[in-house]
Structure formats: structure tokens, C-alpha cells
Homo-oligomer: A and B are copies of this chain.
Amino acid sequence: MLRNDLPLGADAAARFLPWIVGTMVYLAALALASAFAVNLAIGSWRADITGELTVEVPDFGDVADTERQARLEAVVTDLLAIDGVEGAALIGPEEVRRLLEPWLGPDAAAADLPLPDLIAVTLARDAAVDLPALEAKLDETAPGLRIDDHRGWIERIDRIGTLVELLTAAVVLLVAGAAALAVVFVTRTGLDIHRQTVDLVHMLGARDGYIARLFERHALAFGFIGGILGLAAAIATISAIGLAASRAGAGLLPTVHLGLPHWVALACLPFAAAAVAMLTARWTVLRTLSRGL
């Protein structure tokens, strides 16, 4: 009805609101995106090693190559016969050397290292394999053999994953709290600046809700604008970091790509920010007004 009862948009404080909300959305978006990326990386790493065992077959001493190959294949056959084992494949010395390359340096491949034979075992999902029993059984076929289920690694990765999730939740909460606090301050400042007008409109018979709506609408609009700007900046930053990282750290940093659900979650941020801004403004005005007569 009275769109311009209060020229809130002209106050320095109000013009500040989009910047604050924008910064907060920017930070929240970056935090969420890094959490998504870390979780994706952890997830794929974990998937790689959870469903797998590595069987290490030592050098048998002075046996002939054919004899050795036969023994290895016997182990593979044994493995495949076991419940829960989906696949078992020999990793030849070449492959082992390739795997070790990043560790020993690029020249290791050329070096003439005698290496153990490895068998990569793929397990069915949720298969419960009794490792000691398995080891004992296979040891008959190939004495000295060892099974590695990477359990220590998985536990460490999981702990890092939880840590990242907690940190992200903390950052997002902090940022939402900071944004709400900013809206409280901006709204109170608006009430400060327009104290006399608000009092007067009140005295002329306007209801609290009417006054709250003026601030509310303003916070909604400015919060949303800020949110959109913050999100845009965040997307630009994420892309830039992704690009820079894939160039500079190729091979060292895992390359992950956010999926549709991740982008949707990020796109929700401006709406959430606008809603937080609006409700906070409404609450602040009503609370401040209710203290008067």
C-alpha cells in the first residue's frame, strides 16, 4: 500500500546488506563445495580399496617361471572358489612396477627390481570374509603368502571424512549465524535511523505487522540479491580453483567433478539466505516494537 513509507534502500546500512549476505553465501558455497569435493574424492578412494584385498605372493626362491605361474594360478583358482570373492586377477611385475613408480621416482620402471607378485581380489558388496582362515588356507598352496585388506587406511580415510563433514557443518552454521546477526544489526540500524518515522506511523495507528512487513520485504529482496551475487562469485571461484588445481597439481591432487545434486544444493543457498534474512528482520522488528507502548 505504502511502498515508500520508509526509504530503507537509501540507507548506507541497508545497501550494505547484500554485501554481507553475499559474502556469507560465498563462504558457505565454498565450504560446501570443498566438502563435496573431499567427500567425492574420499568416496572414490574408499570404494577403490574397500571391496578389495591384495594378496602378496613372495618369490618362491629358485623355482622355474612356469612352476611359479602355475602356483599363482592355483591361488587365483582357490580364491575364486571362495564365497564372497567376485574376482581375482594377477598383477604382473610390470604392473607392480608402474604402481610403485610415483614412490620410487620415474626411473624405477627401468630399474631391474625383483618384485613380489600381487593378486588383486575383488569382493562382493558386504561380503564378510574371514581373513585369517583364508590366509591359512591359501598358505597351503603358496607358503609365505600374505593378505592385506587395507583396514588401517580405510579407518584413517573415514576419520578424515568425518572431520571434513564436521568442519563444513561448523562453517555453514557459523556463516548462517553471522548472516542472521548481520540482518539483526542492519534491521536495528534501520529502526535506529527511522526511529521517528516508525514511532510516528505507529502513533497514527499502524499495526506492528505493517511496520515489520516494510523491513521484511526489504531484507528478503536485498538478501536474495546478495545471495545470488555471492553464489555467482563462489561458482567463479570454484571453477577457477578447479582449473588452477588441475593444471598445477595434476596427478598430485585428485580431480573430482561435482554432480547435479551438489549444484542444486549450492543453488539453494540464495533462497535460504533470503529466507533467513526475512525471518530475522521480521523477528527483530516485532521484538523491538513490542518493547514500546
Within the assembled complex, what's the spacing in Å between the Cα atoms of A247 and B156?
9
A134 at the A/B interface (Cβ < 8 Å)?
no
Within the assembled complex, what's the spacing in Å between the Cα atoms of A188 and B14?
11
A15 at the A/B interface (Cβ < 8 Å)?
yes
A11, A111, A146: which has the most chain B beta carbons within 10 Å?
A111
Kindly identify, within residues 238 to 256 of chain A, every residue whose CB is under 8 Å from any CB belonging to chain B: 241, 244-245, 247-253
Kindly identify, within residues 11 to 67 of chain A, every residue whose CB is under 8 Å from any CB belonging to chain B: 11-13, 15-16, 19-20, 23, 27, 54, 56, 58-59
A116 at the A/B interface (Cβ < 8 Å)?
yes
Contact B248–A107 (Cβ < 8 Å): no
Within the assembled complex, what's the spacing in Å between the Cα atoms of A148 and B104?
9
Shortest CB-to-CB span from A196 to chain B, Å, is 11
User: Which stretch from A78-86, A158-166, A199-207, A209-217 is at the chain B interface?
Assistant: A158-166
Kindly identify, within residues 151 to 188 of chain A, every residue whose CB is under 8 Å from any CB belonging to chain B: 152-153, 156, 159-160, 162-163, 167, 178, 181-182, 185-186, 188
Q: State how many copies of this chain the complex holds.
A: 2
Contacts of A252 in B (CB 8 A): 156, 160
Contacts of A107 in B (CB 8 A): 56, 146-148
Shortest CB-to-CB span from A268 to chain B, Å, is 23
Contact A150–B112 (Cβ < 8 Å): no
By secondary structure, the A interface counts as: helix
A258 at the A/B interface (Cβ < 8 Å)?
no
Shortest CB-to-CB span from A98 to chain B, Å, is 13
**CB contact between A13 and one of B58, B116, B156, B185 (< 8 Å): that residue:** B185
Closest chain B residue to A190 by CB distance? B12
Contacts of A260 in B (CB 8 A): none
Contact A185–B56 (Cβ < 8 Å): no
A259 at the A/B interface (Cβ < 8 Å)?
no
Given the contacts A13-B185, A163-B245, A182-B16, A152 and B112 also touching, CB distance less than 8 Å = no
Question: B-facing mask of A89-122, CB < 8 A → 1, else 0?
Answer: 0000000000010011111101111111000000
Contact A189–B193 (Cβ < 8 Å): yes
Within the assembled complex, what's the spacing in Å between the Cα atoms of A234 and B23?
18
Contact B19–A181 (Cβ < 8 Å): yes
A-B CB proximity, top 3 nearest: A12-B188, A159-B248, A16-B185
Interface residues of chain A, those whose CB is within 8 Å of chain B, are 11-13, 15-16, 19-20, 23, 27, 54, 56, 58-59, 100, 103-108, 110-116, 144, 146-148, 150, 152-153, 156, 159-160, 162-163, 167, 178, 181-182, 185-186, 188-189, 191-193, 241, 244-245, 247-253
A13-B13, A59-B112, A111-B116 given. 9 additional CB < 8 A pairs? Answer: A12-B185, A19-B182, A58-B111, A58-B113, A110-B146, A112-B116, A156-B248, A156-B252, A163-B248
